[in-house]
Every structure is written in structure tokens, then in C-alpha cells.
Structure 1
């Protein structure tokens, strides 16, 4: 509201360019994207001539009718001047029936302000009328407007009432912002009597005016349309009755425009009235018939059985996957594969540091050779016992060498199967120590993919093996994959705070091209048929049953 308040303040303050200030006020009320000021001469010419033809046509229509709305264009008269009829042409933010209806309503409201601007002889009156149009119509705000109107009329007390079809809608009194029920009733009754053409002079036949006047020469002014819409102003002496009458006359169109905001029912009736109908259907019957038809269509739509779908997030997984772990605890010396690489079975993936293992193996090999030499020397000397001990030591060292050779082979990690490498980029961890059993990579074998749905426990009962599944991937939102449920895991898991059941989906062979492990998206499982109305209210019913144990 700050920009609207600034535009209102600029309009209420005398300035060199009042038309632009009024056009800016229109723009803020309409929330338009841009506006232009045109002048329509008596000959029908539109100035400036540089305006586009649609803008000129809209300006001519507004100069003729006061307000014109078409498509995203809206135009309203700013008030006559010596150069012709100035018109503000706005470009609306949206081209919808609701936006057009609101634009027409607000431009009609601003027409009353433009009339006040054209009169423009009383700045205080004009500022008051602008606040009648822009202020929030709370009891406190209406009370302040009544206080200002009383000051304008020089009256110790002033009250006003807005009427719609001769029915009092809102009342305000300059004496108090919090009207009691009795005071409000008296004001409503008096305003109704004035609206019915009653003289303001006290009379025993008119209890509302009599109660308010209390013997004083109460003055009343009314400005009503033929339909009974308008404003009634009551002033207590001494006061300027002419000023109060001027306020009633000039504020009535603004107040009525504020009260007469089109309802959805009114807009529907207007739409029905413009639709083609058989001549045999009376006009007064068309709106009720249309409402009944719309209600029947809505009821039919709610009872219409539709596919009952279960939606859940998914990830793409390979049909065969092998996890590669560290066989020993050692430091990473070299990484030979990156995530996404295609590798063959036996290809080197990671090399661990083998310096210590090689040193231990060389020492064990040297000791083995020494034990073998000792056994040969003992045999030559005929020392059977020494030969037996040397052979036992040699056998022990031979086993140690074989073990170190095995460990040395484990420092080279190879791909167990052919496929695509997935996992962490280990090049960033070269030099770090990995523990035995730590995951290095996973290898996704070629030959097909499957989807894994994470179905919530509240929906898993509607998912059965063999059900059709429609899937969309985040990387391919315009294409759709098809598949069938192959298995629902019997045990639940907690994922991101939700209790879920993993559900495997077999993807149709024709849709597997271009898939890669790890892709994510969402899937919709067809769980049978159910009425649309039940599908809408089912979450609420489930919540009530869980919370209230119904």
C-alpha cells in the first residue's frame, strides 16, 4: 500500500501535473504494468499520433463510454480540459475475465474521483473524497472520515450511511468510532427514513429522525440512484447544509463503487446472460437453470470413477550391481578409474601403497633362501636333526612369502565385472588411508535398468505386483517411461523422516535407452479405480481416523 499511498498523497496535493498524478493513482489501483496519457479531440482524433492503433481505439472507446476494457488494455477518462478529453490507457498484468472485471470496477470508482478532480474548487473536499475511495473501510477509518466531513461542513456532529437498494449497509458517526447497538439502530432507521423521501424535520411518525434530532433542526442530504444506491448524510446545527449536500452528492458514486464489488455469482449471471440460449427459455430462468446444470456437472465429476494413482519418488538402478571394497587397510597410491567410466572385467581401478609389503616380502624371501642353505649344509654334514629344523623354518618362511605375495596382489583392485563405474571420485583422496571393507566403487553391469520407488506406508496397501507404472525423470521431463511393479519389499525403512517401502519396477525394454544409474524422478502407480470425490477427501478422512480413532 506504500506506493498507492504515495500516489494518493501526490493526487491530494496541488501539483503542476494533476492529470499524470491521477493516471499514476489509476495505475496503482489497477496494478498495471505501464500507462500512457492520450487526448481525444472533438473530431475524434487521438493525440499524440505516435500511439499504436489499439491504444488509440481504446482511448476513443473510453472517451465515448467513460471506461473501456479489452484484452490486456484498460482505459479511463481523467476529466475534460481545453485540449480535449484526457484518457489514461493502461496495460494490465493479466488477460483474464477476473482481471478485466476488477479493472472495470476500479475505473468506474476512479470516474467519481475524476469528477471531483474536474470540479477541484475545494482541495479539502477533494482530499476527503480520495480517502473515501482509498481508505480501508474499518469502523475506525469511517469514523475519521465522518470527523473530517463534519469539520468540512462546520457541524458539531455528522453521520453518514451508505445504502444498497435502499438497505443501509454501513454507518459512521463523527462522535464515536464504537457505536452501540442502540445508536447504530437509530442511525440506520433515520437513514432509511431519509432514503424513503422523509423530511428531516422531527415528527412523531418517524422515530429514527426524532430520536437523533432530539428537538434540534437536523439537516439531511441524500444522493441516491434510481436503484436506491447512494449516500445519506445527517448534520447537526449549526452546520453548512450546502457543504454536507455537496459531500453527499460527490461522495455517493465513490461509496457505491466501493460497496458494489461484483460477486462471483453476479459475474456468473452476466456470463450466462451473454451465452446463446433457445428463445423458448425465459431470461429469468436462464441463471437458475445454469446453476443447476453446473451443480449437476460438478456432482457427476465427483462421482466419476478415475484411475486411483499412488505417486512416489524414484531412482534408476541397474539390474546387476557389484560393490568394490578395499581388501586391505592401506594408503591409496593411484586411482585409475573415474565415476562414469566404462571398464572391462579385470581392469585396474585402484592401486594401494605396497612399499611395506614388498619390503616384508623381500626380507622373508632372503630368510627363506638362508634356511634352505642351512638345510643343505646340514644334509652334507649328516646332521639329521639340524637338517630337520632348517627344513621346518624354510617351510614356515615359504608360507609367509606366499601370504605376502597374496597381500601384494591385493594392493591392486580390479573390476569384478564389466560395466559403468559409480561412486565417489577417489582421485581427491589419493594419499588417504582406507580401511579394510570400505566402499571404493560400484560397478553397474550393462543389460538393463529398473526403477526403485519409495512408497509411503499410507499408500503401500494400494500398490500390488503387476500394477502399471508411469514415470518421469528430472533429466527428461518431457518424456514418459512405462513399467510394471515387480516386487514390494515386506519391511519398511525410514528415509528422510518418512516410513517407506521400497518397490521395484521393471521398465519396458523400449524405454531403457539413455538411462543411467542414479537418475531420479517420480512415478505414478495405478492402484485401481475410485470416485474423484473420494480421492480428494481421502487424506482428510485418513487423518481424522488416525487422530480421533474413528
Structure 2
């Protein structure tokens, strides 16, 4: 039977896999830049990261400070965690920037790196393809950062799981077997057998033997090997047996590469036997060192004190989880509802007291300045007053003419003043007739006001009838509870998703914080105005609602989980 043909390896897939693995090494920035330039045919580029407020190049080496236009795009990309693009200022050239995740290894200062590339093309199709390729490359880089962070904290998580398996077993012998089996399956690839040995207590557990005779040759030789490792005090990999204890174990278990990792106190030793031909990673002993340290602490507890083993196992497991949560970092966020508002809006009010006669528009309608009739007020009373005012004006002019003919100048002046007053009243009423047809004062979109079911109602002068959103960008208003307002600062990044599309997260930046709180739905809130950094927001409409998260700094998972309970206790007990 012919062997199945092997599928050819895609060079791009290999490059991406190497880039993901290089994310933990110092040279990843140069590899990212080279791959980005090859994928987009860019003529220039750099990987930037902020240092003391200045965007500097991580790659190429000695790149120095970035140009102002590149730094501005990098800031936009890092704030919105997306892609920013703009013309470079030279005809036919565009500059793209994409966020690529943390620039520093886990545990170091948190800085966001950005890949910036300058592309020579102005064709919409080329620019769209460049954006898609950069989005894919940025996602691969951020996935590598997440994997690197996980790998950096995996030893502590593995140590907690192994200790929990040891402490929750009904007795210590069973616990050592469970812990060794878990360690082999979860933490050591290529291991044929794992032994956890407590040399001082002369106890051990094998991953592949739930029960064993302590007087058998293999347990006795493993105890000797563990005592030798404890005396050595450092991890040791023996590809070929050299010491008497290693040769004795090799005769019993076969010729395998042996790795011994002792705890600092020497009270616990991990022994790993690898299958022949297995390549042992150099960092394996570093990953197993936290496991051995925690096992050494467990071994220091005498067996006689395990009468309450299950309770102490729960306490130890809980303490391990709390310890991991206490050091595992995460972004400190403030969560709050968000609503989209126009940057500029104009109110339309009733010009005078009257009765609403007609209205045909509603929220969502587009209106044109002076060309769209919003509503019409009844004019019958105004027309009657106008007719009476015109009659008074005619009578006053006639009385002035009679007084002039009779040689009565004083009476003539009195009649003329009365005529002017009547004519002014006529002009006012004619102006009201013109205002009775209420028209749009500006181009825009009606966002409030629907009078179609209010026909015949009396309106008061100055009463707001409609609100028109003027053309321009929208802003995000986040309603933050006053108890969370102390952590807010201008310039903090905001991530929000609208209820209409909850799976799509957008970016924004805090622009200003209203200084006065207001009551919304019975809660005191501060309005935080955020500038939307996304470019593709054509589907947004004023009044859309959603949920936002404002990143206010760094914290740990434990602090984030305990924030609300601690705040409640302090509020109840007046504890500072």
C-alpha cells in the first residue's frame, strides 16, 4: 500500500507560525515588520511603541522617533485597537497603522505596539486589500501576545493544579500518584513516567502505578535518586546515566533520559523519564521549578496533621487560586451604558400661542432648511385680529384727515399716532401669519418630536416641538455612576458595542467629563463624552444605545472581583 502523499506546506503559514512563536523573543519586531512589508508590498514601515510619551521605533533598529504623521496614526490605532489609515501627503501614497498587542513581555511595563506601513498606491481595491491583510496580521500578532502571556503564567497555574490533586486525595500516597499523573498529562510532553518523591518522608508516587510496594527495587532506587537530586539542589538532565543512582534506575526502568527537579528546601523532587529520542526543551526545568517549590511546601506539613485533609485541601486550593488571581493582571475597567448623540442639534419652538393645525413629519425624517414644513398653527384668530387692526388703522387715518380739514392740528396728531399703532399691530399679526407655517431652520435629521397625534392641542410660545440633529459626527455619551467617576481621566480608551450589533466592538477616547452629576433612572451619573475613533460608522444613528467599557488603568483579577463587595462594606461600616 502506497503511503499517503504529504500535503505541501504553505510558506506563508510557516512564516505566521514562526512569528507567533517569536512573540516571546526579542527579535519579533523585525520579523513582524519584514512579513508586513512582504504581504503589502510597502516601501517603508516601522514597529512603534510609546516611550515617555514619544512613539519610537522598535524595528528597524536605531529607527529613533517616528514622524509626526506616523505617530498620530499609531496613537489612533492603539487607542481604538484597530486600523488607522490616511494619505501620506505625497500623491499616490497611503500610510496604514494596525495595533499588534503589548510591546513588552508579560510582567513588564504595559505598552501597545503598532505596525505602520507606507504603501505606494491610491487604488481603492489595493487599499482595501492592504487593510484586510493588516487586520489579519495584527490579529496574529495579538494572538501571539496572548499565548506568550499564558505561557508565562502557566507554571503557577500548573503548580496550583498539582497541589490541589495532592491535597484532595484521601491519603498522601494516593495524592502523590494523582499529582504525578496530572503532571505527566498536563505539563510534560514526551514523558513516559513521572515520579513525585518526598525524600525525607520516604514517600513517592508514580504516574503509571496507582499502588506499589515501597520495598520493591524501583521505589527504593527512585528514593536514592531523589536524595541525590535534593543534595545537588538544582535541576539536572541526564541523557546517559552517570551516577550510581541513575544507573540503578536505568537498569530497572530502561535507558531513558532522566530529569530531576528538586524544591529549594529539598523536601520534594520531581523525576521525569522521557521516551528514547525525545527532545527535551531547555525551559522545561524552569516550568517545573514552581511545581517543585509548591510540592516542597506541602511536603513540609507532617502526615499526622492531615486528619482534616479535605478541609485543608479546600483551603490550600482556594489559597492557590487566590494567589494566582492576586498576581494575574488585567485592565481596570468601568462599565456603563452608552448612547450616541449628535455633536450639534437645534431645537424648534412654537413662535406664538396657538392651536396645532397640521404636522406631517416624525423622528427619522430628513429635513431641508426652509424647504420642509414641520407643522402649521391655526390662524383664524390671528386673521380676525388682523382684520380688526386694519379697520382701526383706516378709521384712524380718516379721523386724521377730518381733523386736518377742520383745522385741528392737535386732533390730527393724535389720530396719526393711533394710526401708526394700528399699523404696527397689523405688521405684527402679518408676521405671525408667516410664522404659522413652521419650517426647518437647518438641514438635518429629526431626532425628537412627533406631533401627528397632537392635532388640535394648544401650544405655548417657546414650547419645544422638534429637535433636529445637524450634519456632522456623532459622539458617545457614557453614563458612569458617581461611585466610579473618581477613576475617569481624559484620554482613556473606550470600547463600546451597540445593542443593534452586540458582536461588533468599536473604539473611542474620553474627550471630556461633565463636571456636574445628573439623575438618570434614579441613579446619580456623570456624562462622559467620548470621541469615536472608528472611521466606518455610517450605520450609526443618533439615540442608539449600548454598553461601554472605559479602561482606567491596571489591576488584578482578585482586585477586580472584590471591588464591589469591598466598596459595599466600606459604605456600610464607614471604613476608609
What is the TM-score when the length of structure 2 is the normalising length? Answer: 0.46
TM-score, scaled to structure 1:
0.48
The structure that has the greater radius of gyration is 1
